Structure 1
């Protein structure tokens, strides 16, 4: 067995090792209950940590914030969340931004092309009215667009840590297990992609 063949064999053994799979699953599961239910204790702790770290003030109670996070990841839009929490859609949007809960199509009802987004990212600290003139959009729209830019920036500064924690709290066991398998499979594919192994049968 040549050196490359031996190296490939070791990779397969490492990836298929049962203990390694179990450890990866446990890491992904976090403290989610075995039943796959939401880890509400950790979810609430994360919400409270964010409130302290980012000095977030909200008219919503902790229970309502918990509901907002859960329903956000469940796919509820701002209008639906507003109705469920008896608040305005704007309050929902502002709260989402405060907790780094950003959708790909945010902000609702506002569109901007990539050049406009680029200017917004570069001028995030500028006066909204000045930016609005530069990108030829209403000031109200620019304020919402800037809120998205700032939320994404805050999230990146902490390496998206809170988003990841929210997702871990709300991810069921079945999905977590599949993620563990997929992650290892991807790692194996990357490790062997460029390997050139000659094996005589």
Structure 2
């Protein structure tokens, strides 16, 4: 482990207040058995680093901040709550490059960078599957073009576009990063069934009739 990775792991440990797996986690059969917070933190750092190399992140948040966003999402926190948590940890370097306060919009952009799309993101514009298909056919289609083709309000399409692009990016890698975050940050036994339900109910319509080019 290099010095930077070790520092980021320490940031996670300080932020969560835990150093080892809890007694309840030890007693629970699943992905959290024999896995401590240090190992989870190390892996989150690695995942975020890999994603940052593969894709262009939309925010200036640090790797530690992106990890905190992922933890917040799977911990059931709202974007506003995650923003508040990040903004109170500036001593860990969680602010963006500009040094400005972090708000819910920044958190939303960060979690979409991580392919972590909420169900509410997909409910913004009714024909979400059609929007995804338009982007799958032509990733450079503008919001104006999509709104005209879908006969939808431009404001709704503008807000839905980043989520649709994040879903498409995730589909291109078979939801690899999304699933790994889930396995690290939730109980495997519970999350497996929830993940299956989410894919069937929330993503089936979104991915319907869309062909993806999976490339590693």
**Does the pair score TM above 0.5?**
yes
Kindly report structure 1 stretches of 4+ aligned residues shifted beyond 4 Å: 35-38, 175-179
Q: 1:122 aligns to what? A: 133
Question: Residue by residue, what CA displacement relative to the aligned partner does 1:88-114 show, whole Å, maximum 9, x if unpaired?
Answer: 21111111111100112215xx6322x
* Counterpart-to-counterpart distance in 1, 2:153 and 2:191: 45
Correspondent of 1:112 among 105, 111, 125: 125
Q: CA RMSD in A?
A: 2.9
Does the 8 Å CA contact 1:36/1:171 hold for their aligned counterparts?
Answer: no
Structure 1 unmatched runs, 5+: 1-25, 180-201
Correspondent of 2:159 among 134, 144, 152: 144
1:164 aligns with 2:183: no
SS in 1 for 2:115: coil
Q: 1:22 aligns to what? A: none
* Counterpart-to-counterpart distance in 1, 2:191 and 2:172: 29
SS in 2 for 1:56: coil
Give aligned pairs, total: 147
Larger radius of gyration: 1
When the two structures are superposed, what TM-score results if normalisation uses the length of structure 1? 0.62
- 1:33-182 alignment runs, 5 A limit: 34=34, 37=37, 39-86=40-87, 87-106=102-121, 111-113=124-126, 116-124=127-135, 125=139, 126-172=141-187, 175-176=188-189
SS in 1 for 2:50: helix
Structure 2 unmatched runs, 5+: 1-28, 88-101, 193-216
* Counterpart-to-counterpart distance in 2, 1:60 and 1:176: 32
Quick one: higher RCO (CA 8 Å, sep 6+), 1 or 2?
A: 1
* Counterpart-to-counterpart distance in 2, 1:160 and 1:118: 17
